[in-house]
Structure 1
Amino acid sequence: MRASTLAKTAAAIAATAVSGSVATDPSSSWYRSLRKPRFQPPSSVFPIVWTALYADIALSGAAALDRLEERSQPRERRRYLRALTANLLLNAGWSWLFWRSRRPWIAAAECALLTASSVDLARRTARIEPRSGAALVPYALWCGFATVLTTAIARLNPRA
């Protein structure tokens, strides 16, 4: 894996993480007033999980992009880069829809799109670099869990 590719994917991930962090406020009175499902993890779990997943996305994405470049597949590389970029935009967007817009149902729908995008990204990556694709499966699963969790919060709080 080339350091320059990893630096670029890491920068994109960092921008995604910062954008999401700026929007997120679990100490807000709005969020504290929401009813949450019993399977809601403690708040301390989220930064730990997301940090690991973000590192995984940066490494797996860089590996796939480099492999496509080694194979002289610029068209496929551009397609992969578009899929990765769309995924990261969806990732950051959830925080803004849920935390800042305070629209749990819209955030749940957007999270379902993020899950589909994450599954697609893992599939695309596996075709290029099988181990890196397998490494993205936890990300897709976590996004699926986030969709279920966000939907449950929306159901429990119809007026939110």
Structure 2
Amino acid sequence: MKKILIHLLFIALVTGLGALIGVANVPGEWYQSLAKPPFNPPNWIFGPVWTALYVLIGIAGARTWLAAPASACMQMWFGQMALNFLWTPAFFGAESTALGLAVILPLLLSIIAFIRMSWNPDRLSAILFLPYLAWVGFASLLNLSLFLLN
């Protein structure tokens, strides 16, 4: 029962904080006015994708916490979450593609580091991060394109 509660807590915290940050930093007129690359997805896709990713990230975080709460892997998980939660205010809140890029590239590296660190002790947590890696890789390319186009 304790494991289930920890999983639910991690999922609720990650998705809840992510939603709160998203609501506080809604893409507005500034974002709409940017020149966008042809591969820019429609705005409606971001909410469902991030919700699904936050559930996977929460599960991986709970698994890592249950296995070794003071481990380097757990510290990396918290570090990537800090960068994840910082990107939206940096990009949308500060209305800065450059600042967004300065946050998303270390985020991408921290996701890769978490996957590498968890691969042997908890392969499932590493695998749960693969869709997240793919999405943040795509988001990094999109952020870079927005920086270059504007």
User: TM-score over 0.5 for the alignment?
Assistant: yes
State the shift of 1:42 in Å: 0.8
Query: What is the identity, as a one-letter code, of the residue corresponding to 1:148?
Result: L
Query: What is the identity, as a one-letter code, of the residue corresponding to 2:65?
Result: L
Segment drifting more, 45-54 vs 80-89: 80-89
Q: For residue 88 of structure 2, what is the aligned residue in structure 1?
A: 95
Residues 85 and 12 of structure 1: is their aligned pair in 2 closer, same or farther, counting only changes over 3 Å?
farther
State the shift of 1:60 in Å: 1.6
Residues 115 and 16 of structure 1: is their aligned pair in 2 closer, same or farther, counting only changes over 3 Å?
farther
Q: For residue 147 of structure 2, what is the aligned residue in structure 1?
A: 154
Structure 1 segments of 4+ aligned residues over 4 angstroms from their partners = none
State the shift of 1:135 in Å: 1.9
Q: For residue 53 of structure 1, what is the aligned residue in structure 2?
A: 53
- Cα distance in structure 2, aligned partners of 1:92 and 1:56: 16
State the shift of 1:11 in Å: 3.8
Q: Which runs of 5+ in 2 are unaligned?
A: none
Root-mean-square deviation (Å)? 1.8
Note if contact 2:25-2:93 (Cα within 8 Å) is conserved in structure 1: yes
SS at match of 2:26: coil
The aligned length equals 149
Q: For residue 32 of structure 1, what is the aligned residue in structure 2?
A: 32
Measured against aligned partners, the alpha-carbon deviations of 1:26-65 in whole angstroms (never above 9, x if no partner) come to 3x21111111110101111111111111000111221222
SS at match of 2:124: helix
Matches within 5 A, 1:1-160: 2-26=3-27, 28-68=28-68, 75-76=70-71, 79-157=72-150
Query: What is the identity, as a one-letter code, of the residue corresponding to 1:93?
Result: L
Larger C-alpha radius of gyration, 1 or 2? 1
State the shift of 1:145 in Å: 1.0
Normalising by structure 1, we get a TM-score of 0.84
Query: What is the identity, as a one-letter code, of the residue corresponding to 2:25?
Result: T
Note if contact 2:15-2:51 (Cα within 8 Å) is conserved in structure 1: no
- Cα distance in structure 1, aligned partners of 2:108 and 2:70: 25
Note if contact 2:64-2:74 (Cα within 8 Å) is conserved in structure 1: no
State the shift of 1:75 in Å: 4.4
Q: For residue 71 of structure 1, what is the aligned residue in structure 2?
A: none
- Cα distance in structure 1, aligned partners of 2:51 and 2:117: 22
